Structure formats: structure tokens, C-alpha cells
Structure 1
Amino acid sequence: MIGHGSDVHRFDVDAPCRLACLEWPDSPGLAGHSDGDVAAHSVCDALLSASGLGDLGSNFGTSRPEWANATGAELLRETLRRLEQTEWRIVNVSIQIIGKRPKIAPRRHEAESAMSGILHAPVRLSATTTDGLGFTGRGEGVAATSTALLYGIRPPTGTTDSR
């Protein structure tokens, strides 16, 4: 099963920058109910979507005060915990960060390692800009999209395994 997720947050100079489960001390933070980690949030969205568990908002949204100020790593761990209670397991995850800053390339492998370690599955990360177009091109915030591939550990209810 394949799931897709996306997330967007504006910059907040008064917040620490957390992106792809890393601290980025030389960049402004991202505003949000939690830490604004668009990479982690988009991965959660993709995993929740593929597993049929809803989306980021229905699981961790602003109506859920217990998740206020949660880190992206905490949200990934909780998403994995919920996923492990289903018939689905993670094959891999791909993330694309869209924005002018922070510069992802120097820490890409570190971010992949951090997120792979949390999810116990391969995570690959890429980044792009929008050539000056839109809010990311104007440097107002960061966006991310993710795709997650899951496999079933047993046939879903109501189906027959033909093996």
C-alpha cells in the first residue's frame, strides 16, 4: 500500500528550527501546534494514509492538546506505534523538502539516519527550491511531501490469501 503526505509551515523566528528530526541552529524555526517539522509531519501523514489510520490532523491536530509542542521525532514514534497495531509494516519512505532554507544537502545523510532509526526502515531525503515562486520561493516557510510504501503482514479482513 502506498500513502502520500504533505505539510507546510511558515517561519517563526522565535521558535527553534526542527526539520527532519534534527535541530538547525542557523535557521529560523517553523510555526505550528507541535514543532513544525514538515518532513516528519509529512511522513506521519503518508504512513497514516497508507495504513488507513487517518491523517496528521485527525491523530495529532490542534484539537489534541496533548500533542502541543511535540517534536517530529515524538510524532513519528507514536505513528509507528499505531502502525504496529495494524497489519501494515514500513518498506521505505521518501521525502522531498521544498524551500530555500535551511540547506539540506550538508546534513541529508544525518537526517536520513535519524528518521530511519526512529522508523526502523529506510528513509530517503531530497530537497528542492521553487526558483523564487510561491511562499517557499519568497523564503516565508518550508513545505515537504512524502511517500510511504507499506506491506501487509497478513491479508486484510474479508480477503483470501491465494498463496
Structure 2
Amino acid sequence: MFRIGIGYDVHRLEEGYPLIIGGVKIPFEKGLKGHSDADVLVHAICDAILGAVALGDIGEHFPDSDEKYKGISSLILLKEVNEKIKNLGYQIENVDSIIIAQRPKLFPYKFQMRKNIAKVLEIPVDRISIKATTTERLGFEGRGEGISAQSVVLLRKI
């Protein structure tokens, strides 16, 4: 049995925050604002995984009203999400994601992002796809107000 899930996340870019995407700290003049480390890519993947098994979304499991998640690495949340689906008898077959940001250029960091996510999900790196695109200066991403990410996952019952 296979299950498919989709996820989406967005965070505002602001000065004074680190820019962490896919567990990689990226040098940039602004970072993503959020309760955790605001890693839009990992949040989108978490939502896709949770959605595939009808467990709701990341906010239900790790609410921003809970201080224990303040500043937490989203990779820790991803590990917990992976444990939840493993306990239900599922494993991740593949992840396909896209990051939408006008700046900074993300190409130099994508392979490390893939490695980070594959390690946490305990699957080979060739099962993780990460793409990045701009919006040709259109919309909030194009104006540099924020960054968004979308993800699709395929789970298999084991």
C-alpha cells in the first residue's frame, strides 16, 4: 500500500534571524522568522509526511504555543515525524521538494540539504529531490518578503 502527501510552508524574511533551509545555515542578510528555526523546507516535508497518513499538520504536533519548540532545529521535528510513521508501519520511498526564493541563490547548498534530510529520514540521498526557483520578482517571494517551500512524499506500508 502506498500513500502520497503534499506539504507547503512559508516564513517571512527579517533581519536578525538566521537563514536555515534543509538544516543548512546559509549566509544572508536576513533570515526566516518563526517559533522554531523556521526551516520552510523541512516544515513542508513534515506536513507532506503527516498528511500522507492523515495525521494533520506540523502545527498540531509541534505548536508554536509550546516553549519547548522555541528555536528548535526542524530536523529534530522531522525525526519525530519519521518515528510517528514508522510506528504506523510506513517508510518513506521518496521526497520531492521545491524552494521558492528570489534570493539567495540556493544551488550551492542543495546537496547538503539532501544529505541532512536523507540522514534524518534514514533513506538514501538519491530518494531526496530538492529544487529551487525564483518567481521572476513576482509575489512576496519575488519581492524578498519571504520564502516558501512545497513538498510531495510517497510512503509505503511495510
Whether these two folds match at TM > 0.5 is yes
Given the alignment, which residue of 99, 115, 118 partners 2:117? 115
Deviation at 1:26, TM superposition (A): 2.8
Instruction: For residue 90 of structure 1, give the secondary structure of its aligned residue in structure 2.
Output: strand
Q: What's the CA shift string for 1:92-130, capped at 9, x where partnerless?
A: 101100011221111211111111111112211001111
Aligned equivalent of 2:28: 26
Alpha-carbon distance in structure 1 between the residues aligned to 2:9 and 2:65? 17
The aligned counterpart of 1:134 is 139
Tell me by how many angstroms 1:27 deviates: 4.3
Which residue identity is paired with 1:115? I
Unmatched 5+ stretches in structure 2:
none
AA in 2 matched with 1:63: S
- When the two structures are superposed, what TM-score results if normalisation uses the length of structure 2? 0.92
**Matched letter for residue 147 of structure 1:** V
Matched residue type, 1:146: S
Q: Against the structure 1 CA distance between its residues 27 and 88, is the aligned structure 2 distance closer, same or farther, given a 3 Å change threshold?
A: farther
Alignment match, 1:15: 17
User: How has the CA–CA distance of structure 1 residues 71 and 104 changed in structure 2, closer, same or farther, with 3 Å as cutoff?
Assistant: same
Partner of 1:156: none
Q: Which residue of structure 1 lines up, in the alignment, with residue 58 of structure 2?
A: 56
Structure 1: 5+ residue stretches without partners: 154-163
Alpha-carbon contact 1:97-1:128 (below 8 Å) kept: yes
Q: CA deviation at 1:7?
A: 0.2
Query: Which aligned segments of 4 or more residues in structure 1 are displaced greater than 3 angstroms?
Result: none
The one-character-per-residue Cα deviations of 1:117-148 (angstroms, maximum 9, x if unpaired) are 11112211001111111100101110000001
Aligned residues: 153
Residue 77 (structure 1) aligned with residue 79 (structure 2): yes
Q: Matched residues, percent identical?
A: 39
CA distance in 1 between partners of 2:101 and 2:50 (Å): 24
**Secondary structure, aligned partner of 1:14:** coil
Distance in 2, matches of 1:33 and 1:20, equals 16
Structure showing greater radius of gyration is 1
The answer to whether the Cα contact below 8 Å between 1:27 and 1:101 also exists between their aligned partners in 2 is no
